[in-house]
Structure 1
Amino acid sequence: MLEHGGNLQQAAQQYGRPLADWLDISTGINPQHYPIPALEPSLFQRLPPVTESLHAAARAYYGCQHVLACAGSQAALQLLPTLRPPCRVAMPRTMYQEHAHAWQRTGHEIQFFEQTPDSRILQQSDVLLVCNPNNPTGHLYATDKLLDWHAQLATRGGWLVVDEAFMDTTPQHSLASHTGQAGLWVLRSLGKFFGLAGLRVGFLLGEPTALAQVESRLGPWSVTGPSQYIASLALADHAWQQHMRAELPAQSAQLSQLLNQHGLTPTGGTDLFQYVPHPQSLRLHQVLAKHGVWTRYFAAPAALRFGLASTQDWDRLDDALTLAINSLSD
């Protein structure tokens, strides 16, 4: 299993602090989750084929014509490499690691680049995969550039796969409306923006024949009935979405300002996290953990990712950062 944010059980055991006594900002998940409605018991009693209402809500929300619900975008991420024979796949070196893991374990050859593929990598690759915006660096790829890369790949049967897990606050940059073309895949998730990671609801956007192939491999009942019900409500709640699209950028800017005040300058981020390279990131991560603040540590390059804290936790984060920075001079 790869290392991920949100591994709070591990932190609690390692540092001997009860789960309830942690401020977990390691995931980039919206701390103000979509409100969970009362649920009818029948949702738990029936087998849950994916309903047309859920797909209709997703098509409307993402602005696409073809979509397939799955048990989180992780399920689609792991399945896509099985649809091609072993081939050459290019992706950024610093990115959500599950992508490389999924393609490598199914026999594909991975070539890494730092941020943007050059012409040689594009010409040599059968699949190009990026997170947009990138996790954890926050780098945002221009839509025109992505579509140009897709056009080059598609001429020889190649794919462009774009993971848009953190795109919801900036839908104008999404490739969702362009899906339906052969060789263009987009992954979306309800885990980050909606703060509903525990529902395990994601969507794969793509060309309909290819989506049918994925659906046949996923099998029946891939998304639970309660999850489908809540997801449909969240996707259709435009007022809540608009509120969050105003609220989250302000909170992320506040987080960036707080980090800067402590000499921790983010080099990138999204409306749900800030990314801070630092030569002593491991030390900072450990000291923050000793004070009950759990961050996402990256060893190469050395960096920390800070997710958003709830309003009542800002002072606690401020105090912990003071202690962590002071520890560097001890």
Structure 2
Amino acid sequence: MTNKIAHGGGITAAARHYGGRPEEWLDLSTGINPNPVALPEVPVSAWHRLPDQYLQERAREAARSYYRSGDILPLPVPGTQSVIQLLPRLVTGGSVAILSPTYGEYARAFTLAGLRVRQVATIADLTADDRLVVVVNPNNPDGRMLPVDRLRDLYERQRQTGGILLVDEAFGDVEPDASVAPYAASMPGLIIFRSFGKFFGMAGLRLGFVIAEASIMARFEDWLGPWAVSGPALSIATSLMGSDTTAIRDRILQRRLALETILRRSGLHVAGGTALFALVADERAEGIYTHLCRHHILVRKFDYARNWLRFGLAPDEEADRKLAGVLEPDYFRAARPKI
């Protein structure tokens, strides 16, 4: 069995190791909006009753408008992680190719299902035997972005061989024009995953959406079983996806600019990222990670790239000052490796 993957958000474990109470730590280890939006009013009936068809339909209509998916009503799911676990059921024969490095749960899910997994660096490395191709766009953790035209070409390539293309747009809300969702109705065999919690700052709600042809979404819905998404989650999504999200987007971009400014002033190389996180490449990454933890700041490190650290967004200017103070240039001069 493959090992469990260490994700961001492990504040409790970090506090046990480095001290301090979890609530005192600054958590920059996730790619989630650090300023969750205000909760809209949730009808008492959404808490009291099992989610009925009306709630589902309203949420799906709101998602269609928000994601601009045309004739397709996106399927609400209890977080996209839940449907990643189901993906192996769609693959019969051949191999699965994952444009890598990327979110590690894809490779883990396919490997645990006994499928042949190929982690490829470029589209040029794909073969006709790849029955399903996974592209996270924009990518986690390096922010790689394939343009829509390139994705449509890749879809046509998969279609000609009877394969499936999965595009994970979990970090795509800030750049809606980079989404392939508006073309999905004319692209059978394309699957799109969208995350609700990252952009709205509500990861704990555990809500995502699948955009695909009706037969594929029906299979996911059947596999998930009845009442997979809670009534309050559907109600909240309906309200927020139907609202003006300009202020949310602007605040995220302001926070991202503040983060990048701190990192660059500290002499760190920002090698990539998205609106919700920045990827730093530095040979001293392990030492920097420990230094930050000792000051109760958690970032994300990677076992497959020891020189990488991913910094999520800080919630406000006070947190900016804390991060900037810990990343004082004097520390880096002292930590510079001897040559």
The one of 15, 20, 29 aligned to 1:17? 20
Answering whether residue 115 of structure 2 is matched by residue 108 of structure 1, we say yes
Answering whether residue 127 of structure 2 is matched by residue 122 of structure 1, we say yes
State how many pairs are aligned: 326
- One-letter identity of the residue aligned with 1:188: R
Q: Which residue of 2 aligns with 1:160?
A: 165
Q: Is the 8 A contact 2:94 2:129 kept in 1?
A: no
Q: Is the 8 A contact 1:285 1:295 kept in 2?
A: yes
Q: Which residue of 1 aligns with 2:6?
A: 3
Shift of 1:326: 5.0
Answering whether residue 90 of structure 2 is matched by residue 83 of structure 1, we say yes
CA distance in 1, matches of 2:37, 2:201: 6
Q: Is the 8 A contact 1:122 1:128 kept in 2?
A: no
Shift of 1:122: 3.5
CA distance in 2, matches of 1:298, 1:141: 23
Shift of 1:38: 4.0
Query: Normalised by the size of structure 2, how large is the TM-score?
Result: 0.92
The one of 195, 203, 210 aligned to 1:189? 195
Shift of 1:163: 0.6
- One-letter identity of the residue aligned with 2:235: Y
Q: Which residue of 1 aligns with 2:268?
A: 264
Q: Which residue of 2 aligns with 1:28?
A: 31
Map 1:232-311 onto structure 2 (within 5 A): 232-238=238-244, 241-302=245-306, 303-311=308-316
Q: Which residue of 2 aligns with 1:150?
A: 155
Question: SS at 1:129's partner residue?
Answer: strand
In structure 1, stretches of 5+ residues that fail to align are none
- One-letter identity of the residue aligned with 1:154: R
Q: Which residue of 2 aligns with 1:198?
A: 204
- One-letter identity of the residue aligned with 2:226: P
- Greater alpha carbon shift after TM alignment, 202-211 vs 49-58: 49-58
In structure 2, stretches of 5+ residues that fail to align are none
Shift of 1:42: 3.0
Q: Which residue of 2 aligns with 1:92?
A: 99
Q: Deviations over 1:19-60 (max 9, x none)?
A: 111000110100111211343443222112452000000011
Q: Which residue of 1 aligns with 2:40?
A: 37
Q: Which residue of 2 aligns with 1:317?
A: 323
Shift of 1:123: 2.8
CA distance in 1, matches of 2:157, 2:87: 20
Query: Normalised by the size of structure 1, how large is the TM-score?
Result: 0.94
- One-letter identity of the residue aligned with 2:48: Q
Question: SS at 2:171's partner residue?
Answer: coil
Shift of 1:85: 2.3
